[in-house]
């Protein structure tokens, strides 16, 4: 007499995926289902004559066929869904291009209306300013030699200076920028001026990468204290001549 037939684990194939998406392995419910079928087959004394077993297997034949169709078609359905979603994203990009981000404009212009001299030769002095023409995010600090920025960016600093000598002979004048008190490498310029009441105009520019809160100073030195940064008053036909003018902008990086 055959052994009693165990009750198989119930399962509805269309509702339970054969593969667990989280693990990539056979779903636990399907594992238990096949295990129960195996246990039933093992408990039968005669597999070929066990009508109960054969009937049971026949009742699940259609379910297994549905499972086969489900497993075969699922990857195609997923691929079609992914393609449709990708097409939607492409269409969205064509209709709505990514927004363009612009750097905020930061700028300033500063000058000094006094004559600045060196108390000793071969000694660095910070050039000061007493006038702000325009300022937006770039401003004078304390002491007034420091030009601060309020936003990280690459800034273009341009200076123009008026040099004068008040006595005979030849004198040298040096100028260079520093950032947060540290001299910028390979940035100095040298000029030589000769004779009493001789004047030289000079200008230069620098790209400086700064963080918010950084400050820039221009330093100068002379080998003769009669060489100075000279301010000249206005005359009847031209405006006053500042000893130094510095302009600062951050439009180097453009669209982001």
Kindly report, residue by residue over 85-132, the tens digit of the pLDDT: 776 766 666 556 666 666 678 999 999 999 999 999 999 999 999 999
pLDDT tens column, 6-21: 555 565 555 666 666 6
What residue spans of 5-109 are helical by DSSP H?
28-43, 51-59, 61-95
Chain mean pLDDT for the chain: 81
Domain 107-249 classification at class level: mainly beta
Per the listing, tokens 């994203």 go with 89
Dist CA 159 CA 246 (whole Å): 4
Q: pTM for the complete prediction? A: 0.61
Buried b (16+ CB within 10 A) or exposed e, 131-165: eeeeeebbbbeeebbbbbbeeebebbbebebbbbb
**In the predicted model, is pLDDT for residue 73 greater than 60?**
no
Residue 188, Cβ density class (10 Å: 0-12 exposed, 13-18 middle, ≥19 buried): middle
Which tens digits make up the pLDDT trace of 183-232?
Answer: 999 999 999 999 998 899 999 999 999 999 999 999 999 999 999 999 99
CB neighbourhood size of 25 (10 A) = 10
Please enumerate in sequence order all residues whose Cβ is within 8 A of that of 180, keeping only pairs 6 or more positions apart, or say none. Answer: 214, 215
Sign of torsion, CA 247 134 131 243? positive
Strand blocks (E) in the chain: 107-112, 125-126, 131-136, 138-140, 147-149, 153-165, 170-179, 182-183, 189-194, 198-210, 215-222, 227-229, 244-249
Over the stretch 158-189, which tens digit does the pLDDT of each residue have? Answer: 999 999 999 999 999 999 999 999 999 999 99
Share of the chain above pLDDT 70, in %: 62
Torsion sign (Cα): 98, 99, 100, 106? negative
- Asked if 186 and 207 count as a contact pair (C-beta separation under 8 A), the reply is no
The C-alpha atoms of residue 160 and residue 245 are separated, in whole angstroms, by 5
CB-based contacts of 59, cutoff 8 Å, min separation 6: none
Decide if 173 contacts 222 (C-beta within 8 A): yes
């Amino acid at each position: 007499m055959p052994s009693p037939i165990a009750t198989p684990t119930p399962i509805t194939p269309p509702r339970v995926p054969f593969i667990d998406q989280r693990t990539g392995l056979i779903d636990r419910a399907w594992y238990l289902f096949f295990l129960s079928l195996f246990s039933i087959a093992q408990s039968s004394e005669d597999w070929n004559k066990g009508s109960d077993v054969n009937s049971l297997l026949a009742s699940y034949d259609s379910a297994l066929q549905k499972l086969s169709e489900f497993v075969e078609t699922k990857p195609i359905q997923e691929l079609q869904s992914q393609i449709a979603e990708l097409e939607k994203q492409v269409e969205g990009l064509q209709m709505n291009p990514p927004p363009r981000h612009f750097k905020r404009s930061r700028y300033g212009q500063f000058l000094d209306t006094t004559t600045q001299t060196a108390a000793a030769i071969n000694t660095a002095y910070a050039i000061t300013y007493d006038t702000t023409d325009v300022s937006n995010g770039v401003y004078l600090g304390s002491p007034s030699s420091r030009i601060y920025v309020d936003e990280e960016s690459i800034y273009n600093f341009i200076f123009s200076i008026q040099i004068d000598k008040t006595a005979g002979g030849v004198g040298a004048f040096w100028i260079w920028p520093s950032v947060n008190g540290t001299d910028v490498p390979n940035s100095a310029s040298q000029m030589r001026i000769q004779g009493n009441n001789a004047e030289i105009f000079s200008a230069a520019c620098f790209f400086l990468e700064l963080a918010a809160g950084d400050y820039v100073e221009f330093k100068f030195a002379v080998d003769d204290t009669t060489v100075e940064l000279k301010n000249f008053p206005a005359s009847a036909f031209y405006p006053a001549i500042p000893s130094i003018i510095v302009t600062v902008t951050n439009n180097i990086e453009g669209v982001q």
